[in-house]
Chain A
Amino acid sequence: EVQVVESGGGLVQPGGSLRLACEVSGFTCSNYWMHWVRQVPGKGLVWVSRINSDGSSTNYADSVKGRFTISRDNGKSTLYLQMNSLRAEDTAVYYCATGRGTYISSWFDCWGQGTLVTVSS
């Protein structure tokens, strides 16, 4: 059975840091390129970041560029999102998603359950 499981969310003060993790197991979902997508509760979906199969290429939404860093450890089948200088507007459920298609043109075929990040004093 395919599983995509995020962890690491929680409450953090503005300016603080958190590291999210996402472990992918099973073989049904493509796992060459991975993405983070976030969703403010009750609102829409927003793409955050992506990384290619070996971690050599990464891209970010303008809203998080310079503050967030995506990385992966293929030996552990785990994706990470290091989030620094967090702002109230970063409050959201963060989903890890596997991408299918190509690295620069992906749709998202498998999603984790999400982890809630709350930035508040």
Chain B
Amino acid sequence: DIVMTQSPDSLAVSLGERATINCKSSQSILYNSNNKNYLAWYQQKPGQPPKLLIYWASTRESGVPDRFSGSGSGTDFSLTISSLQAEDVAVYYCQQYYSSPHTFGQGTKLESK
């Protein structure tokens, strides 16, 4: 199974500041035939299900604010929130869909400072 490791486990950022969450896969999740990275990002607020933010490592889901962006390739990826808003406080997960079983990172708890 591909192991997804996020860092840090928790992060406190001031409102209006940039927040960056990292995700590393135990093997490359770049599919060479289509040059796509098989990685998604989700946001989960307390008591709610996860919400899809980004897929193909950098494609924002419809309706997701443009302050959220994804980057990276191969084994190293990042989710960046350019200017933290109060409603962004949540746990964030990365997920690989390159191979089965699809696996998630352990989550990063983002708080406001």
Q: Mark B82-107, 1 if CB is under 8 A from A, else 0.
A: 00000000000101011011111111
Give the chain B neighbours of A100 by CB distance below 8 A: 55
> Are B55 and A107 in contact (CB-based, < 8 A)?
yes
Binds B, one of A12-20, A42-50, A69-77: A42-50
Interface range, B side: 20 to 34
Closest Cβ of chain A to B11, distance in Å, is 16
Question: Which chain A residues have a beta carbon within 8 Å of chain B's beta carbons?
Answer: 44-47, 59, 61-62, 95, 100-101, 104-114
Give chain B's interface residues, CB within 8 Å of chain A.
Answer: 38, 40, 42, 48-52, 55, 61, 93, 95, 97-98, 100-107
User: Can you list 26 A-B contacts with CB-CB less than 8 angstroms, sorted by A residue number?
Assistant: A44-B104, A44-B105, A44-B107, A45-B93, A45-B107, A46-B104, A47-B101, A47-B103, A47-B104, A61-B101, A62-B101, A100-B55, A101-B55, A105-B98, A107-B40, A107-B52, A107-B55, A107-B97, A108-B42, A108-B50, A109-B52, A109-B61, A111-B50, A111-B51, A112-B49, A114-B49
